[in-house]
Structure 1
Amino acid sequence: MMKNLCVAHRGYSGKAPENTLAAVRMALALPFVRWMEIDVQLSKDGVPVVIHDFSLDRTTNGHGKVKHMDWEHIRRLDAGSWKGRAFRGEKVPSLDEVLTLASGKLRLNIELKTTGDMYPGLERAVMDLISAKGMQGEVVLTSFDAAVLQRIKELDPRFRTGLIYDSRQGDPAQKVHELNCSFLSISSARLNPKLAGLLAERGIQIMAWTVNKAKEMRRLADMHSDIMICTNRPDVWGDTFLKI
């Protein structure tokens, strides 16, 4: 079996509505899914919620910005019908709910969805939840925003951090080093054998996103066995790497 680990992107989002408990459960049902990537923001009243967009409009029947809504309002929304009738009534989960489901079963790449001062206190709220459940060793906290990663290390340097990198310019290996990160989440199109080898030599865990086709999965596997493959379609990963 190939070593390239399977990461379920926003849960099993190819089949279930992304970032919902249904997507989490479907990912957990596949024994080869070792990691899951989710996105976290704060409600108006400071509850960490699992949702990707800054707006509620695309993935729920609600409207407006996540940061303007209290948790009680968000949790009543339908976050499943857009994906299909079978998921009608699926809710936006809290981070607490997802952590409870995942604890001891798989590792989590938790992206802190913020920019600038959009969510003061997001880092501490997320870290407090993780610490309360004793899950520090089961997560990596990732962000595009260097200031977020720096704040995490200031609050508790024991937490693993990861840079999300999408630029065609610059040196991601150098940036990861500067930020004291041990994880790089990078667009699959940005990866090449030289960069993958350099990162692996430095002990940086590499996750490539978002890869849904078998051909691209094989390309990454041929490039380096340490590249984690983040996909909406864990079933395609299974068909590609678990064949005898």
Structure 2
Amino acid sequence: MNNLCVAHRGFSAKAPENTHAAIKMAMNEPFVNWMEIDVQLTRDGVPIVIHDYSVDRTTSGKGKVKDLTWQEIRRMDAGVWKGREFQGEQVPSLDEVLQLVKGRLKLNIELKTSGDMYPGLEEAVLDRIHAHGMISEIVLTSFEPKSLLRAKKIDPEVQVGLIIDAHPRDLLSRLKKIGCSFLSIGYSHLDAAFADELIRNGITPMAWTVDDKRSMASLAKMSPEIMICTNRPDTWGQLFLNKIAPRIPFWRRKWRGWF
């Protein structure tokens, strides 16, 4: 059970998703190797870390991200919805998150877009990644193949991965056409044979979103190469602490030469 643990939007089961609190809480978990975050653009072109296309659910404000400026979103409370102890949390910029995790966690950055909703999103995100010297520490993922192709055109060296909650027959060929070395897939669509096929073709699978021990253990049995994305990295840690499998020292963990 050598699988890598990916904290979904930080430690989102306990802290408000995609905030400093959730990120720091995930970083304090010894079993977390990666973190998944979502990035969109404000009206004035600032890449920020937020999941929904509107701010309504996770902040004290209202409106679509693309229609609001960075300063308008910055004034919103992004934590109190999760609990009073998180009051005052803010929506972070991508810059802030990159600075916080550099050298400590790898990042799966979802380019959160639909069609041409965010012209220039890929360029803006890659610009900030290069500014922090972190191109080797990230993978860009998206439900939108065109967004991944744009990212590869801007920087052919960037690692990209498709997000999908299905398993169409031509999925492997789609991944190859895009140039993916990563697949983010709803865990119910992954089985041992498909995981093995992906790995043989140089594509690392990540299963999402897995919060119970039984499903985690089942995926781990399929292959040690499957990355497991969870809102509950503490539950993943309990599998090790309960000696279901030996813990692998961090310095020995690898994902295709990225460690």
Which runs of structure 2 are paired with 1:68-217 in the superposition (5 Å)? 68-217=67-216
- In the alignment, the residues of structure 2 paired with residue 172 and residue 210 of structure 1 have an alpha-carbon distance, to the nearest angstrom, of 20
Runs of 4+ in 1 over 2 A off after TM superposition: 167-172, 241-244
- In the alignment, the residues of structure 1 paired with residue 176 and residue 36 of structure 2 have an alpha-carbon distance, to the nearest angstrom, of 22
- In the alignment, the residues of structure 2 paired with residue 208 and residue 146 of structure 1 have an alpha-carbon distance, to the nearest angstrom, of 19
Which runs of structure 2 are paired with 1:41-80 in the superposition (5 Å)? 41-80=40-79
Q: TM-score, normalised by structure 1?
A: 0.98
Q: Compute the displacement of 1:31 (Å).
A: 2.0
- In the alignment, the residues of structure 1 paired with residue 94 and residue 155 of structure 2 have an alpha-carbon distance, to the nearest angstrom, of 19
Equivalence for 1:236: 235
- In the alignment, the residues of structure 2 paired with residue 29 and residue 166 of structure 1 have an alpha-carbon distance, to the nearest angstrom, of 30
- In the alignment, the residues of structure 1 paired with residue 119 and residue 211 of structure 2 have an alpha-carbon distance, to the nearest angstrom, of 34
* SS across alignment from 1:67: helix
AA matched with 1:117: D
- In the alignment, the residues of structure 2 paired with residue 43 and residue 61 of structure 1 have an alpha-carbon distance, to the nearest angstrom, of 17
* SS across alignment from 1:200: helix
AA matched with 1:158: E
AA matched with 1:47: V
Change (3 A) 1:62 1:170: farther
User: Could you give the per-residue CA deviations for residues 90-135 of structure 1, whole angstroms, max 9, x where no partner exists?
Assistant: 0000000000000000100000000111000000000000001100
Q: Is the 8 A contact 2:31 2:236 kept in 1?
A: no
Long gaps (5+) in structure 2: 244-259
AA matched with 1:230: C
Q: Compute the displacement of 1:167 (Å).
A: 2.5
* SS across alignment from 1:7: strand
Q: Compute the displacement of 1:145 (Å).
A: 0.5
* SS across alignment from 1:14: coil
AA matched with 2:59: T
- In the alignment, the residues of structure 1 paired with residue 49 and residue 16 of structure 2 have an alpha-carbon distance, to the nearest angstrom, of 12
State the percentage of identical aligned residues: 60
Equivalence for 2:10: 11
- In the alignment, the residues of structure 2 paired with residue 218 and residue 97 of structure 1 have an alpha-carbon distance, to the nearest angstrom, of 34
- In the alignment, the residues of structure 1 paired with residue 143 and residue 137 of structure 2 have an alpha-carbon distance, to the nearest angstrom, of 21
Which runs of structure 2 are paired with 1:219-234 in the superposition (5 Å)? 219-234=218-233
Aligned Cα root-mean-square deviation (Å): 0.9
Q: Compute the displacement of 1:174 (Å).
A: 1.7
* SS across alignment from 1:73: helix
- In the alignment, the residues of structure 2 paired with residue 108 and residue 11 of structure 1 have an alpha-carbon distance, to the nearest angstrom, of 10
Q: Compute the displacement of 1:168 (Å).
A: 4.3
Which runs of structure 2 are paired with 1:29-44 in the superposition (5 Å)? 29-44=28-43
Q: Is the 8 A contact 2:10 2:23 kept in 1?
A: yes
- In the alignment, the residues of structure 2 paired with residue 163 and residue 241 of structure 1 have an alpha-carbon distance, to the nearest angstrom, of 30
Long gaps (5+) in structure 1: none
Q: TM-score, normalised by structure 2?
A: 0.92
* SS across alignment from 1:203: coil
* SS across alignment from 2:161: strand
